[in-house]
């Protein structure tokens, strides 16, 4: 694996994003919604650094992928959602790639009648955007490589890595040979 962002680089970027979010505060309470599962590490770090009263909830969005590049249909599960009607929402996700996921989750949340919705992402891949929607806060822009760690997975593994790494062909071969080794 090739490290793209070290643990300390990640912490610096997340702290700066938290400061920008705090600085943009209108004084009203925030409702932070993390997109499961990729946002869990960012969510935990970010909410502890935003100096403002907040409520925290989650929503699940999954697009079934086989290979690293192809993407299946997006399924949004709002069964775990807290009430957001009349609230100022900050949606938190791991990565903005084509943007379809975040745009669809925002559209889904709009139906629930929030006062406002903004979004914050850890990563944004340059040159990949396919939607008009833009995240309001981005910690890092990265090149178009498949990355894992700090919440991001490959087949539900590697989310626990404290750094961000790009998976290389040799890693995929190793992963395949170890699949199901429990």
Q: Give the footprint of ligand 5GP on residues 96-115 (CB under 6 A).
A: 96-101
Q: How far is the CB of 136 from ligand 5GP (least distance, A)?
A: 15
Choose the contact partner of 133 out of ligand 5GP, Mg ion, none; CB within 5 to 8 A by kind: none
3-state secondary structure of 119: strand
Greatest pairwise CA separation for the chain in angstroms: 52
Count other C-beta atoms under 10 Å from residue 77's C-beta: 12
- The residue from 97, 132, 153, 171 that is catalytic is 97
Choose the contact partner of 137 out of Mg ion, ligand 5GP, none; CB within 5 to 8 A by kind: none
- Based on the residue annotation, tell me whether 97 is a catalytic residue of this protein: yes
Choose the contact partner of 140 out of ligand 5GP, Mg ion, none; CB within 5 to 8 A by kind: none
Q: Which residue among 5, 10, 17, 38 contacts ligand 5GP (CB under 6 A)?
A: 38
Q: Per CB under 6 A, does 93 bind ligand 5GP?
A: yes
Q: Per CB under 5 A, does 38 bind Mg ion?
A: yes
Q: Per CB under 6 A, does 88 bind ligand 5GP?
A: no
Angle separating helix axes 40-47 and 7-23, nearest 10 degrees: 60
Count other C-beta atoms under 10 Å from residue 37's C-beta: 17
Do 120 and 137 touch, CB atoms closer than 8 A?
yes
- In this complex, which beta carbon is closest to ligand 5GP, that of residue 27 or of residue 127? 127
Please state, in angstroms and rounded to a whole number, the distance separating the CA atoms of residues 81 and 93. 15
**# chain residues binding Mg ion, by CB under 5 A:** 1
Residue 18 φ/ψ, nearest 5 degrees: -60, -40
Q: How far is the CB of 97 from ligand 5GP (least distance, A)?
A: 3
Q: Per CB under 5 A, does 34 bind Mg ion?
A: no
CA 27 remoteness from chain centre = 25
Strand partners, 120: 92, 137
Complete edge-to-edge strand list for the sheet that includes strand 164-166: 2-5, 164-166, 147-148
Q: Which residue among 146, 163, 171, 175 contacts ligand 5GP (CB under 6 A)?
A: 146
Which residues are near ligand 5GP by CB under 6 A?
A: 38, 93-101, 146-148, 152-154
Active site residue ranges: 97
């Amino acid at each position: 694996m090739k490290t793209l962002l070290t643990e300390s680089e990640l912490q610096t970027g997340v702290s700066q994003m938290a400061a920008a979010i705090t600085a943009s505060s209108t004084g009203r309470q925030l409702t932070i919604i993390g997109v499961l599962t990729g946002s869990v590490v960012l969510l935990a770090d970010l909410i502890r650094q935003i100096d403002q009263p907040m409520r925290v909830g989650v929503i699940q969005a999954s697009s079934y992928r086989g290979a690293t590049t192809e993407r299946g249909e997006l399924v949004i599960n709002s069964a775990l959602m807290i009430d957001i009607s009349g609230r100022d929402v900050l949606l938190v996700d791991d990565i903005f790639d084509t943007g379809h996921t975040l745009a669809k989750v925002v559209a889904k949340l709009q139906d629930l009648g929030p006062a406002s919705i903004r979004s914050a992402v850890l990563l944004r891949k340059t040159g990949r955007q396919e939607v008009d929607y833009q995240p309001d806060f981005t910690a890092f822009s990265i090149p178009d490589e498949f990355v894992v760690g700090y919440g991001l997975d490959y087949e539900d593994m590697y989310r626990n890595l404290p750094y961000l790494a790009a998976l290389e062909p040799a890693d995929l071969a190793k992963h395949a040979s170890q699949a199901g080794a429990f």
